[in-house]
Amino acid sequence: MNHGFLYRFLVRWLVCSLGLWIAAGLLRHGIDYGGGIGAIIVAGLILAIINAVIRPALVILSLPAILVTLGLFMVIINGFTVFLVSKLYEPLHVTNFWIATLAGMIIGLVNYLVTAILENREQ
């Protein structure tokens, strides 16, 4: 097994879980996970799997929209993946697609910050 792939996936899982936790804290009235950190960890795992498996296909299929909007359509794709997790995993409840889109933006920001920190540590 490739340890680099496993490391990247574990970091992605951690970042997704952290992002969901922060998004749930900021969007209290729109995201509910029952207060259990276990629900956030499992939801983060599902989100990491969806981002690794389904998201690339979504990006390819929506490439014209991404190009026309100069990349802004990626926000919608991120929101869709969060909304999909909430439909697949019942303990995570997102009230609507727009809250999921905001959560996707927050998760994306957390991902950017964690990636920047990790890249600075490697240099």
Gap between the Cα atoms of 45 and 43, Å rounded = 5
pLDDT in the model for residue 53:
95
pLDDT in the model for residue 49:
96
Q: What is the pLDDT of residues 62-92, one digit of tens each?
A: 999 999 999 999 999 999 999 999 999 999 9
The pTM of this model reads 0.91
Q: What is the pLDDT of residues 47-64, one digit of tens each?
A: 999 999 999 999 999 999
Gap between the Cα atoms of 58 and 79, Å rounded = 12
Q: H-type helices in the chain, by residue range?
A: 3-26, 37-53, 55-61, 63-68, 73-88, 97-122
pLDDT mean across residues, the chain: 93
User: CA 123 from chain center: how many Å?
Assistant: 26
**Any bridge partners for residue 31, and if so which?**
94
pLDDT in the model for residue 1:
59
* pLDDT over 70 percentage in the chain: 98
Amino acid making up residue 44: G
**Any bridge partners for residue 93, and if so which?**
32
For 83, list phi and psi in degrees, rounded to 5: -65, -40
